């Protein structure tokens, strides 16, 4: 991607995008939870072609047609998110702090996640929530701690 394209994509992400780190319940995981990182670009359906252009440039992710007239271009995964954030970081303005926090989460995420690392990283995930407007967020570091406390009692 050219510098001009990186600048454009970073501006798009600053205005019509979201950088997230989430704690996700996974009953099939030994620890019961995972950390999911993602980048999402939003656009009304009349301008969806820009999302297809973005996906062609970035080469990761998928596009979803929502029922509310919006389209989402979503990139999920530690490796993919890290690559894109490192590419765009110098050009981000509004979302630079959350990008740096998500990068820190990914760079400190061990290949084999353990209880201690999950709890430590969950505090950073909580930090990212301050930059997003989620109304549905229910899992935070305290939930993770409580989960392990309950598990140790059984």
Summarised one tens digit per residue, pLDDT across range 130-143 is 887 767 788 899 99
Give, in degrees to the nearest 5, the angle at Cα 127 between 123 and 133: 135
pLDDT band at 49 (very low <50, low <70, confident <90, very high): very high
**Residues pairing with 76 in the sheet:** 38
Packing angle, helices 115-129 and 141-153, rounded to 10? 150
Which domains does the chain show, CATH number per domain?
3-153 (3.10.28.10)
Are the C-beta atoms of residues 110 and 119 closer than 8 Å to each other? no
pLDDT value at position 154?
67
Pairing label, strands 62-65, 17-25 = unpaired
Q: What does the pLDDT look like over 63-104, one tens digit per residue?
A: 999 999 999 999 999 999 999 999 999 999 999 999 999 999
Model pTM score: 0.90
For residue 110, how far is the Cα from the chain centroid? 17
What 3-state DSSP class applies to 95? coil
Question: What 8-state DSSP symbol labels residue 67?
Answer: T
Only one residue has tokens 């690392």, namely: 117
**Per-residue pLDDT for 15 more than 70?**
yes
| Tokens of residue 113, six digits | 């996640």
What 3-state DSSP class applies to 132? coil
């Amino acid at each position: 991607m050219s510098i001009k394209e990186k600048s454009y994509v970073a501006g798009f992400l600053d205005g019509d995008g979201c950088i997230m780190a989430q704690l996700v319940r996974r009953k099939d995981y030994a620890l019961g939870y995972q950390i999911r990182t993602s980048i999402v670009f939003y656009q009304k359906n009349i301008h969806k072609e820009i999302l297809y252009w973005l996906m062609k440039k970035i080469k990761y992710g998928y596009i979803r047609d929502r029922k509310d007239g919006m389209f989402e271009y979503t990139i999920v995964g530690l490796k993919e998110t890290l690559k894109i954030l490192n590419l765009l970081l110098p050009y981000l303005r509004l979302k630079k702090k959350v990008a740096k926090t998500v990068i820190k989460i990914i760079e400190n995420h061990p290949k084999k996640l353990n209880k201690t690392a999950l709890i430590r990283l969950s505090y950073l995930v909580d930090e990212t929530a301050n930059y997003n407007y989620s109304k549905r967020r229910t899992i935070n570091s305290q939930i993770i701690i409580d989960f392990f406390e309950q598990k140790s009692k059984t």
